[in-house]
Amino acid sequence: MALSRDAYRALEDIVGPRYISEDPAVMDSYAYQWLAETVRPNQSKFMPRPEAALLPGSTKEVQAIVRTCNKYKLKVKAYSTGWYFYGAPLTEGVVQLDMRRMDHILEIDEKNMFAVIEPYVIAGVLQAEVMKRGLNCTVTGAGASCSTLVGAVCYHGSGGTSIYTGELRENLLGAEWVMPNGEILRTGSIGSGCGWFCAEGPGPSMRGIVRGALGARGGLGVYTKCAVKLSPWPGPVEFPVEGTTPAYRSPLPGNFRAYTLAFKDWDGLFEACYRLYDNEIGYYAHRQWTMLGEDLGPAFWMLYQDPAKSLDDIEEFVQKQEVKELTEEMRRSFQLVLVGMSQRDIEYQEKVLERIL
Ligand SMILES: Cc1cc2nc3c(=O)[nH]c(=O)nc-3n(C[C@H](O)[C@H](O)[C@H](O)COP(=O)(O)OP(=O)(O)OC[C@H]3O[C@@H](n4cnc5c(N)ncnc54)[C@H](O)[C@@H]3O)c2cc1C
C-alpha cells in the first residue's frame, strides 16, 4: 500500500521535504529489526515496511502529523532509539515517526532533582550532564544509548542502579503526550501549569493509563517530552579508566565498595536481595556473568583482571582448576556496589551487609 499523493504532500508540508521519505531502501532500514524473526511469519528479519518515515522537530509537528494521519486513515508509530522491533510497524498502513531530531535536554532542576527531556535524549548523554551536578539517572539495562523517555513513558526501564535510583517507570514525573486524536495532554503538575516536578494531580493521575506496567509501546499516541526524577551521585564526574577492552581497570573511590556475592542455594540469594531492599543499602546490583554464560563468567572475570591477556586466552583460563572451582561457587551470585553518601554512611552499609550475609 503506497501513500496517496495527497497524503504524502500534506505530510511533507508539515516537516518539509528533507524530513520525509518513502524511499523503499530507507523504509527497509526501519523494517529490518533485531529479533523480528521471533514474531514474523517465516522468521522474516523484516517487520512490515512503513508507508513513509517522518522526522518531526517539535510537538506541534507531531500533532499536525497525527491529525493528518487520522484524516487519511493512516496509523502512526513512534520510534525513538529503536532498540526493539516494537518501534517498527506491526501492520501495513503505518507512518513511522523517527524522533531523532527531538534530542534536547530541556531542563535540569538540580534543587528539585529532575530533568526534562525529549524522546531522543539517550541515557549516556543525560547521565554525563547530571553527573556534573552531583546527580544520577537510571540507565536502562539495554545500555547508555537507549532513550530515557521511552524507559519512563513507553516501555521498560530497569537497570543496574534501579536498587537505588528506581526504575524509569517509577521516575516518571510530568509528561507531554500527543494523544491518538491529535490533542495534546500534559500530565501531572505540568498540566496545571505548576512545573514538571510531580507525576500525580492535581486531579486524577494519568500515569497508570500512560504507561501501565510495561508501557503502551507506541499504541497510545506519541510522547514528546517528559520529566524524570534524578538521584544523588556522590562519585566522580569521570572515572579514570586504564587499559584496553576487555581488561579495563578503574580505581573505585573511597566511598565505594564492590562485591560479588555468591550463595550456596537460590533461597539464600533471594533472601539476601529482600534484605538489601528492606535495609535500603546498595547502589548497583546486577547478575553480570549470566550474560556471558555461567560456565564462562569466572574465566572472563580472571581475564579482565590481567591486562596482559586478551580474548584469545579465554580457553587457558577455563582450564585452570581455580577457575573451575570458582565457576561452581559463582553459579548463584550477583554483583553489588555500595556507595556511601559520606564515610559514616559507607561504614554503616558495610556493617549492614555483613549482618545480612
Ligand atoms: C539487548 C537488550 C537488553 C535489554 N535489557 C533491558 C534491561 O536490562 N532492562 C530493561 O528495562 N529493558 C531492557 N531492554 C528493553 C529496553 O527497555 C528497551 O529496548 C529500551 O528501554 C527502550 O528503548 P528502545 O530504543 O528500545 O525504544 P524504541 O525501540 O524506540 O521504542 C520502544 C517502544 O516504545 C515506543 N515509543 C518509542 N518512542 C515513543 C514515543 N516518543 N512516544 C510513544 N511511543 C514511543 C515504540 O513504538 C516501541 O513500541 C533490553 C533491550 C535490548 C535490545
* Amino acid 215: pLDDT: 83
Name the more confident of 286 and 283.
283
Is-contact 234 138, C-beta < 8 A?
Answer: no
| ∠ Cα 244 246 247 (to 5°) | 65
* Amino acid 202: pLDDT: 73
Other residues' Cβ atoms within 10 Å of the Cβ of residue 141: 15
* Amino acid 290: pLDDT: 60
Q: How far is the CA of 155 from the centre of ligand 1 (A)?
A: 6
Q: What is the mean pLDDT of the chain?
A: 92
What does the buried/exposed string (b/e) look like for 271-285 if buried means 16 or more CB atoms within 10 Å of the residue's CB? Answer: ebbeebeeeebbbbb
Please report the domains of the chain, with CATH numbers, ordered by start residue: 5-100 (3.30.43.10), 105-232 (3.30.465.10), 256-356 (no CATH)
Q: Which of 150-159, 177-186, 246-255 has the lowest mean pLDDT?
A: 246-255
Q: How far is the CA of 80 from the centre of ligand 1 (A)?
A: 8
* Amino acid 218: pLDDT: 82
* Amino acid 119: pLDDT: 98
* Amino acid 250: pLDDT: 86
Q: Which of 179-193, 286-300, 338-352 has the highest mean pLDDT?
A: 338-352
120: cell is 531522543
CA distance 79 to 131: 27
pLDDT, one tens digit per residue, over 15-71 is 999 999 999 999 999 999 999 999 998 899 999 999 999 999 999 999 999 999 999
* Amino acid 298: pLDDT: 83
Q: What is the mean pLDDT of residues 99-117?
A: 98
Q: What is the mean pLDDT of residues 109-119?
A: 97
* Amino acid 77: pLDDT: 96
Peptide bond into 246 cis (omega under 30): yes
* Amino acid 326: pLDDT: 87
* Ligand 1 lining (C-beta closer than 6 Å): 77-84, 86-87, 99, 119, 140-142, 146-147, 150-151, 154-159, 217-218, 222-223
Testing ligand 1's pocket by substitution, the residue of 118, 120, 140 carrying the most ligand atoms inside 8 A of its CB is 140
Testing ligand 1's pocket by substitution, the residue of 84, 104, 161 carrying the most ligand atoms inside 8 A of its CB is 84
* Amino acid 336: pLDDT: 96
Name the more confident of 222 and 308.
222
Q: What is the mean pLDDT of residues 210-235?
A: 90
Q: How far is the CA of 129 from the centre of ligand 1 (A)?
A: 22
* Amino acid 1: pLDDT: 66
Q: How far is the CA of 83 from the centre of ligand 1 (A)?
A: 6
* Amino acid 293: pLDDT: 76
Is-contact 259 289, C-beta < 8 A?
Answer: no
* Amino acid 289: pLDDT: 61
Other residues' Cβ atoms within 10 Å of the Cβ of residue 301: 18
* Sole residue written with cell 577492552: 245
* Amino acid 306: pLDDT: 79
DSSP one-letter string for 271-308: HHHHHHHHHT--SEEE-GGGGG-TTTHHHHHHHHT-TT
| ∠ Cα 276 281 284 (to 5°) | 90
Q: How far is the CA of 71 from the centre of ligand 1 (A)?
A: 29
pLDDT, one tens digit per residue, over 234-262 is 999 988 888 777 677 888 999 999 999 99
SS3 17: helix
Testing ligand 1's pocket by substitution, the residue of 146, 171, 177 carrying the most ligand atoms inside 8 A of its CB is 146
Residue 113: pLDDT above 90?
yes
ipTM: 0.96
* Amino acid 244: pLDDT: 75
